[in-house]
Amino acid sequence: MRITKPRIAIIESLTRHEGPISIEKIHQDIGTEVCDLVTVYRCLSAFESLGMVRRSYLHNGTCLYELTLGTPRHYHIVCKACGKTDRVDYFPVESMERMLQDRGYTQISHVVEFFGICPTCQKNPESRQTSISGRRTSRA
Amino acid sequence: MRITKPRIAIIESLTRHEGPISIEKIHQDIGTEVCDLVTVYRCLSAFESLGMVRRSYLHNGTCLYELTLGTPRHYHIVCKACGKTDRVDYFPVESMERMLQDRGYTQISHVVEFFGICPTCQKNPESRQTSISGRRTSRA
DNA sequence: TTGAGTGCAAAGGATTTGCAGGTTC
DNA sequence: GAACCTGCAAATCCTTTGCACTCAA
């Protein structure tokens, strides 16, 4: 695995942005001139198979990526209007995983994500720049 | 909302098959001659906006549908090897949503999904027919 | 030097949409 | 009879792939 400019930029972007982020957003975050969107796809795919990032399909079916390394137990609430993520520190999941172990499952992991309208967007409904909702279902 | 043959068939299929099921599977289940695949898409979309069915994006990004009626809110654990889903009945989420409301969020929803290796796949590692990873990577 | 990485264009699969014709209420 | 539903074809969106070229090791 070689170290290249796009890869560094992608990792930096993932580090900076804590919480799951879409490929599109990563591309914009690092600057679209740094590399092609396809490269972002390929890099994340590579990172994933190395276990460096985690992929999750949240809510709307588009996939989001997140650094695996050193992520402590915390979650996020994503604003459905502006897309901003906020941290949710505590979530009682240990008992659930224990229960599933008792059922015979191994290598248990989970995805938890909250969605809502943040206080800011409630005050300024116009600030809803980035639609988070569906893929093409976004008309809903 | 009119009652038509395809819609009846789809509801019956969803009733028969408890647990999340893909659109493709519903189409095959009701018989492909009953209606076009597009109609299944449209019906499920309609059912969803009426709150009759729930849509979830599991692990691999394809979406599955499930009857809402009568099923209390529950979650799933998806086997990372064979892709089979199993039900997880209880999950303490009310307190979390209350906490987020206190933070000023509204219209709160959430996604919870568990992953693991099911007991069967632990015994027969060869039974891993269905790769769960990618989405059109499913040609693999 | 040399093979992994990249860009560009194009393919591919899932889902949605437009429109004309059929069906339910 | 009118509005809703459907089928078919085509459009879209997201993601992956093919291929020639570039660059890190």
Per-residue pLDDT band at A131 (split at 50, 70, 90): very low
What's residue B20's pLDDT?
82
CB B61 within 8 A of CB A63: yes
The confidence score (pLDDT) of residue A13 equals: 96
At A72 the pLDDT is: 62
Q: Which of A80, A106, A111 has the CB atom closest to B116's CB atom?
A: A106
Q: Return the higher-pLDDT residue of B23 and A81.
A: B23
pTM, two decimals, is 0.76
Tell me the C-alpha distance between A49 and A22, whole Å.
17
Which one of B24, B53, B68 terminates a domain?
B68
Dist. CA A131–CA B72, nearest whole Å: 29
| A26 in a structural domain | yes
pLDDT at B83 over 90: no
Distances (CA, A) of B42 to A121, A127, B26: 31, 31, 13
Choose from A103-117, B17-31, B53-67 the range with maximum mean pLDDT. B17-31
Q: What distance in Å separates the CA atoms of residue A54 and residue A14, rounded to the nearest whole number?
A: 11
Is the pLDDT assigned to residue A137 strictly greater than 70? no
Q: Do A100 and B109 touch (CB under 8 A)?
A: no
Nearest residue in chain A measured CA to CA from B95: A91
Q: Sorting pLDDT into bands at 50, 70 and 90, what band is B138? A: very low
Which pLDDT value is given to residue B58?
A: 63
Report the SS3 class of residue B95: helix
Residue A76 and residue A64 share a domain: no
Q: How far apart are the first and last CA of chain A?
A: 42
Q: Is residue B139 a part of any domain in this protein?
A: no
Tell me the percentage of chain A whose pLDDT exceeds 70.
Answer: 79
List helix spans (H) across chain B. Answer: 5-16, 23-30, 37-49, 94-102, 119-123
Whether residue B76 sits in one domain with residue B64: no
* Region label for A3, one of left (φ > 0), alpha (ψ between -120 and 50) or beta (otherwise): beta
B135 beta carbon to strand D: under 7 Å? yes
Q: Are A12 and A35 in a shared domain?
A: yes
In whole angstroms, what is the distance from residue A115 CA to residue A132 CA?
10
Chain segment A88-122, per-residue pLDDT in tens: 876 677 788 889 999 999 888 777 778 788 898 88
Distance A63 CA to C22 C1' (A): 39
Q: Is residue B36 classed as helix, strand or coil in its secondary structure?
A: coil
Q: How many residues does chain B have?
A: 140
Helix (H, G, I), strand (E, B) or coil at B129: coil
User: H/E/C letters for each residue in A65-132?
Assistant: EEECCCCCCCEEEEECCCCCEEEECCCCCHHHHHHHHHCCCEEEEEEEEEEEECHHHHHCHHHCCCCC
B110 pLDDT tier (thresholds 50, 70, 90): confident
- The reported pLDDT for the residue numbered B8 is 98
In this structure, are A50 and A101 located in the same domain? no
Q: Do A106 and B115 touch (CB under 8 A)?
A: no
Checking if the pLDDT of A71 tops 70, the result is: no
If asked whether residues B89 and B126 sit together in one domain, one would say yes
Is 50 exceeded by the pLDDT of residue B45? yes
CA distance B97 to B99: 5
Domain housing A96: 72-133
Q: Are residues B46 and B17 in the same domain?
A: yes
Nucleotides of C under 7 A from a protein CB: 4-10, 12-18, 23-25
Look at B107 and A117 and tell me if their CB atoms are within 8 Å.
yes
| B77, B51: one domain | no
Higher pLDDT, B4 or B54: B4
A89-98, A114-123, B114-123, B128-137: the lowest-pLDDT one: B128-137
Q: Is residue B15 part of a domain?
A: yes
The overall average pLDDT reported for chain A is 80
What was the pLDDT predicted at A73?
64
The strand order across the sheet containing A62-67 reads A21-22, A62-67, A53-58
CB atoms inside a 10 Å sphere around CB B92: 11
B19 touches strand D (CB under 7 A): no
- Which residues of B are less than 8 Å from A140 in CB distance? 49
d(CA B78, CA A132) in angstroms, rounded, equals 25
pLDDT at A68 over 90: no
Tell if the CB–CB gap between B116 and A107 is shorter than 8 Å. Answer: yes
Q: In B, which residues are within 8 Å of A53 by CB distance?
A: none
**What pLDDT score was predicted for residue A125?**
62
Instruction: Considering only residues A30 and B117, tell me which one the structure prediction assigns the higher pLDDT.
Output: A30
Residues of B with CB under 8 A from a CB of A: 45, 49, 57-61, 63, 77, 79-80, 86, 88, 91-92, 96-97, 100, 103-119, 122
- Among candidates B80, B103, B113 on the partner chain, residue whose Cβ is nearest the Cβ of A111: B113
